[in-house]
């Protein structure tokens, strides 16, 4: 039985070696080649990803730089607008204060002139009433006229 087993084993080995072994080796070689290609593809993909990451970092840095420049410009414009608004408000305020002071002076002068006119009118009315009362007698009128004439000569 050992003989037949050995013979059968040798025949099987010969048949496998002649027909199956080359196919198995070809399949293993093809598998190795596909694995090598997959590894090469993975390596290339990794390199491409690294390059994309570097490109993205450069683009991100440029975007941040541009954003910072835009923000600085915006802050400068904001500060300029605020400064102009403050200057304009200060000028408007000064102009309003000047106009108000002029209006107050004009009103004050008008009030003083009106007061002087009223005081003159009242003084004339009071003097008229006093004169009418004092000069109701003829003798008082003559004395006053003589006194006024004497005063005129002295001046």
- Region 39-66: what's the mean pLDDT? 94
pLDDT surpassing 80 at residue 148: no
pLDDT digits (tens, 9 = 90+) for 58-75: 999 999 999 999 999 999
CA distance 25 to 19: 11
CA distance 47 to 44: 5
**Pair of tokens at residue 79:** 């500060």
CA distance 54 to 43: 16
**Pair of tokens at residue 9:** 């084993």
Instruction: Say if residues 140 and 134 touch (Cβ distance below 8 Å).
Output: yes
Write the DSSP symbol of residue 137: S
Instruction: Say if residues 135 and 144 touch (Cβ distance below 8 Å).
Output: yes
pLDDT digits (tens, 9 = 90+) for 9-31: 888 888 888 888 888 888 899 99
pLDDT at 75: 94
CA angle, corner 62, sides to 60 and 64, nearest 5? 70
């Amino acid at each position: 039985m050992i003989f037949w087993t050995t013979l059968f084993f040798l025949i099987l080995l010969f048949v496998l070696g002649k027909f199956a072994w080359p196919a198995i080796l070809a399949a293993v070689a093809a598998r190795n080649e596909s694995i090598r290609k997959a590894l090469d593809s993975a390596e290339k993909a990794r390199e491409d990803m690294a390059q994309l990451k570097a490109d993205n970092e450069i683009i991100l840095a440029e975007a941040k730089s541009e954003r910072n420049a835009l923000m600085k410009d915006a802050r400068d414009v904001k500060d300029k607008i605020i400064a102009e608004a403050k200057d304009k408000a200060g000028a408007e305020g000064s102009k309003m204060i000047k106009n108000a002071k002029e209006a107050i002076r004009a009103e004050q002068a008008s009030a003083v002139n009106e007061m002087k006119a009223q005081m003159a009118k009242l003084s004339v009315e009071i003097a008229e009433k006093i004169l009418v009362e004092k000069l109701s007698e003829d003798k008082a009128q003559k004395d006053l006229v003589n006194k006024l004439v004497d005063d005129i000569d002295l001046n």
